[in-house]
Amino acid sequence: MIEILHASREVETDPQSDLRSDLELIDAVNEGDHSAFDVLYLRHRDWVVNLAFRFTRDRDLALDVLQDTFLYFLKKFPGFRLTAKLTTFFYPAVRNLSLTAVKKARRFQSDESISERVEAPEEVAPLENQREQLAAVMAGLSEEHREVLLLRFVEGMKMGEIAEVMGIATGTVKSRLHNALTTLRKDERTRKFFDK
């Protein structure tokens, strides 16, 4: 719906050329400036869809989550107040919407396709690429450990920000990060990343 909304009206502002901060843009949206919402959307849509894809592993579901996230955000106006970075606000919404989308998608899969997947053994191709090796090890981590690693090293969030978006104590974030890094150091496929 957001895509349709934006496609139906001409976007006059380029998010890179608009030098207003997210906070200034939010104030403008609260005052009725619809083009400011367009700038926020264009500025953050790639981040939102990439995060959604990390949770869903499905391009179409990630695009649905993108639209749902910005609809959720749009409903906050007027009167929305930003108390942290906008990505910190978006993260729990994207995460929850992604997990819900995955659950709905699984619910509508036919029993036949599920049984075919279960019965067909997966052939494991040799991992030649370092990126594939890292992805394989990361897939073996629990969701909580993987999420903390991604937030810290991919999103560049600080410990306090991670604690806020995940709704856990900072000590828990540190513990999960330590345990995840320890696991990566111990695995021979990823140990080389720590020896440098």
Give the model confidence (pLDDT) of 1-35 as tens digits: 344 334 334 444 566 688 999 999 999 999 999 99
Within a domain: residue 32?
yes
In angstroms, the CA 36 to CA 13 distance is: 8
103 and 7, same structural domain?
A: yes
The pLDDT of residue 111 is above 60: no
- Which class for 43: exposed (0-12), middle (13-18), buried (19 or more C-beta within 10 A)? middle
In angstroms, the CA 98 to CA 183 distance is: 26
Q: Which residues constitute the domain of residue 155?
A: 127-188
Within a domain: residue 116?
no
Residue type, 133: Q
The pLDDT of residue 94 is above 50: yes
In angstroms, the CA 185 to CA 168 distance is: 25
101 and 10, same structural domain?
A: yes
The reported pTM is 0.66
66 and 23, same structural domain?
A: yes
pLDDT in tens, 134-187: 777 788 888 888 888 888 888 888 899 888 888 899 999 999 999 988 888 888
Within a domain: residue 73?
yes
Within a domain: residue 6?
yes
Which pLDDT belongs to residue 91? Answer: 93
Q: How many helices (H) and strands (E) does the chain have?
A: 11, 0
150 and 78, same structural domain?
A: no
Q: pLDDT band for position 124 (50/70/90)?
A: very low
94 and 150, same structural domain?
A: no
The four Cα atoms 162, 82, 2, 98 give a dihedral, to 10 degrees, of 20
The tokens describing 145, both together, are 């450990």
Report, as an integer, the average pLDDT of 43-53.
95
102 and 50, same structural domain?
A: yes
In angstroms, the CA 61 to CA 53 distance is: 8
**Last-in-domain residue among 73, 107, 141:** 107
In angstroms, the CA 28 to CA 8 distance is: 21
| Residue with the larger pLDDT of the pair 119 and 184 | 184
Within a domain: residue 195?
no
Number of folded domains in the chain?
A: 2
Cα angle 90-91-96, degrees, rounded to a multiple of 5: 105
For 194, residues 6+ apart whose C-beta sits below 8 A from its C-beta are: 184, 185
CB 72 within 8 A of CB 94: no
99 and 171, same structural domain?
A: no
Which pLDDT belongs to residue 11? Answer: 45
6 and 67, same structural domain?
A: yes
176 and 99, same structural domain?
A: no
pLDDT in tens, 52-62: 999 999 999 99
133 and 101, same structural domain?
A: no
Within a domain: residue 196?
no
